[in-house]
Amino acid sequence: MADFAKITGMDKEKLQNLRHSLAHLLAAAVLEIWPHAKRTIGPAVENGFYYDFDFSTEKHQSGPKNEDLHLIEEKMREMINGWDKFEKEDISVKDAKKMFSDNPYKLELIEEYGDQGLSIVKSGEFIDLCRGGHIESARDIKPNAFKLTHIAGAYWRGSEKNKMLTRIYGVAFETKKELDEYLWQQEEAKKRDHRKLGQELDLFFFSDLVGPGLPLWTVKGTVIRDELEKFAKETEAKWGYQRVATPHIAKSQLFETSGHLPYYKDDMYPGMELDDATYYLKAMNCPMTMALFSQKPHSYRELPLRLAEYGTVYRYERSGVLSGLLRVRGFTQNDAHIFCTEDQLENEFVQVMKLHEYYYRDVFGIKDYYVRLSLRDKSKKDKFGGNDEIWDKAESVIQSAIKKSGIPFQEAIGEASFYGPKADFQIKSVIDREETASTNQIDFIMPARFGLKYTGANGKEHPIVVIHRAPLGSHERFIGFLIEHYAGAFPLWLSPVQVAVANITDEQLGYAGEIVEKLRAEGIRVEWYNQNETIGKKIREAELQKVPYIAVIGEKETKAVSVAVRQRGEGDKGAMKLEKFIEKIKKEIKVKN
């Protein structure tokens, strides 16, 4: 979600201090309502704050429920009027133990951190053991700019060996407007969750029989995959790409040559011991493409050589990080490798950046994006192949190319691939959810490991340089992003069903069937709602499935050889001759509306 510190009038530190101060106010309010509670810790976190409590004692075994949050909020707003400054004072270990003698959690913290110096923070009648980081005055807290969101369980100090506590979460911003925007985005995120919509729209599933992180695409989901792939193939052919195909497994020797063994071994599936060698599922397409390039000599006249592949790869992601389509174990990449000379390198990378912009901005309407430029950490030489000279050259070229592209970027030291610097495109959906859409790298190292050369105009051999690029990333992640970005209402050209035909009564079955056949003959994806239901129910069902157009067929439409058109988001568009309707649909598909 968005970092609202960037758009608020407060700087980030002050906003965090505000949130930490609200954690104190939360603790004070809870103790007013549940005096027996034992408070533990309450830090500021991204977008808000929380405080952990132990509500169980010999006499009391329960604390607040989610339905009680409004009571705590009311108490917090009531108490603000009695609070003024947040005053910090140093305190000795002896006095701290005396002050918190009835709280075993605070006593544990005092024992652990006492030799580093202790302090307390006072506001109103409330005193808490705290290192600080607060606003100067409680008057900076706007009563309508914070909200308690939910209650959850949390082990003391994050260890399952310790007692389960009650954690109360809240969110806070400088203004009510920012809070309202954040809460709207949270609600929208729930509605747009691609996992939820994926089931409702019948796009993909996961099966325990197949395994976690390995999606099964339905008929409708496969339409989206195929349309994306078809479009990318047509587009990239115009940009000078040629297509290749490579296997899903290979000998360990290939991945040793590429450097994935040992640099990337932990993210690969275990090897398979066969009679002739150990084989691995490929985690990347690049080693295969390097081997393909190496099979024959190449002249400078062929370069740049842009080899594209929709290649399926497999990575052993830990189960804890799997997340719907956004983080999976098997996925298909819109991949390509550009084999070029050093002189061609920078211009080719600029063109890669332009292709990204065409896809994101011009086709999918994604306006908010930037490049995360990942460079090596020079102090950690064991994590990166090659030498300083090669890395300096690669980093210089990629920085220059990104600057020439005009795309905003941020540097990330230490996050480069083991074989080269990379430029990750970070895209944001309409609800401000950010995802890494693609990874693009400049690589001097892997081609050298494969001994890739070309013959120059002087008749001598020269080293090849490779650009790795994947503008649409993986189908899985990109489609997951698009589901949320469009809230499942895909543009016409991508929609699994483009037109729903719905006859009002069985008397129109014959004409409706003719329309369905004519639409299909024109290459339009159509679904016939011919079940024995009311027309209202048919329309509602098509709208829930987010079908772009509904062609309603009644007695009047049958006689006029027309259709009554309903358009998603716009409602009834009136009657239209069938030929005109087909012409309209085909035009919108062609221009990618």
Q: Calculate mean pLDDT across residues 146-158.
A: 95
Catalytic residue among 286, 306, 356, 498: 286
Q: What is the pLDDT of residue 319?
A: 84
Angle of helix 12-33 versus helix 69-80 axis, rounded to 10: 110
Q: Is the dihedral of CA 472, 195, 220, 310 positive or negative?
A: positive
Catalytic residue among 19, 20, 329, 337: 337
Catalytic residue among 315, 356, 475, 525: 315
* Residues, the chain: 593
Cα(109)–Cα(131) distance, rounded to whole angstroms?
A: 12
Cα(10)–Cα(492) distance, rounded to whole angstroms?
A: 43
Q: What pLDDT digit, counting tens, does each position of 346-385 carry?
A: 999 999 999 999 999 999 989 899 999 989 888 777 777 7
Active site annotation includes 468: yes
Strands (E), 482-570: 499-503, 526-529, 549-553, 562-567
Cα(534)–Cα(84) distance, rounded to whole angstroms?
A: 64
Cβ 553 vs Cβ 505: under 8 Å: no
Q: Give the chain's mean pLDDT.
A: 92
**Could you give all domains of the chain from N- to C-terminal order, each with its CATH number?**
4-191 (3.30.980.10), 200-248+285-485 (3.30.930.10), 499-590 (3.40.50.800)
Active site annotation includes 337: yes
Active site annotation includes 498: no
Catalytic residue among 106, 167, 185, 333: 333
Q: What is the pLDDT of residue 10?
A: 64
Active site annotation includes 335: yes
With a cut of 60, say whether residue 460 has pLDDT above it: yes
Percent of the chain surpassing pLDDT 90: 80
Q: Which two tokens stand for residue 495?
A: 């929609």
Q: Calculate mean pLDDT across residues 263-271.
A: 90
Active site annotation includes 131: no
Q: Calculate mean pLDDT across residues 148-175.
A: 94
Percent of the chain surpassing pLDDT 70: 97
Tell me the whole-structure pTM to 2 decimals. 0.81
Alpha-carbon radius of gyration of the chain: 30
Q: What pLDDT digit, counting tens, does each position of 88-123 carry?
A: 999 999 999 999 999 999 999 999 999 899 999 999
Q: Which two tokens stand for residue 304?
A: 């740049």
Catalytic residue among 52, 54, 335, 424: 335
Catalytic residue among 225, 422, 428, 477: 422
Question: Whole-angstrom distance between the N-terminal and C-terminal Cα of the chain?
Answer: 27
Q: Which two tokens stand for residue 139?
A: 């008057």
Q: Which two tokens stand for residue 33?
A: 């309502």
Q: How confident is the model at residue 28 (pLDDT cuts 50, 70, 90)?
A: very high
Q: What is the pLDDT of residue 259?
A: 87
Q: What is the pLDDT of residue 61?
A: 63
Q: How confident is the model at residue 316 (pLDDT cuts 50, 70, 90)?
A: very high
Catalytic residue among 468, 469, 525, 538: 468
